[in-house]
Amino acid sequence: MNRTIKQKAVTELILVAAFLVLGACGGKPFTPEKIGEVKAGPGLFTGKKGGIVISPSSN
């Protein structure tokens, strides 16, 4: 393949950028939670005690 210097530079730049983006992840392994397992504590629809909150109290 007869590639120009500009094409090689762009390819190398893309590879370097990809390695930097992937390296920014920290390299820590991700262990997903088991199906049906719910963490204790506040969540998207729960309050500080872990109960469902429809509307926050006025206290």
Query: For the whole model, what pTM was predicted?
Result: 0.40
Q: What's the pLDDT band for 44 if we cut at 50, 70, 90?
A: confident
Cβ proximity of 50 and 40 under 8 Å: yes
Q: Does residue 10 sit within a domain?
A: yes
Q: Does residue 58 sit within a domain?
A: no
Per residue in 16-43, pLDDT (tens digit) is 999 888 877 776 777 777 887 767 667 7
In total, how many domains does the chain have?
A: 1
Q: Does residue 59 sit within a domain?
A: no
Assign residue 4 a region: left if phi > 0, alpha if psi is -120 to 50, beta otherwise? beta
Residue range of the domain that includes 10? 1-26
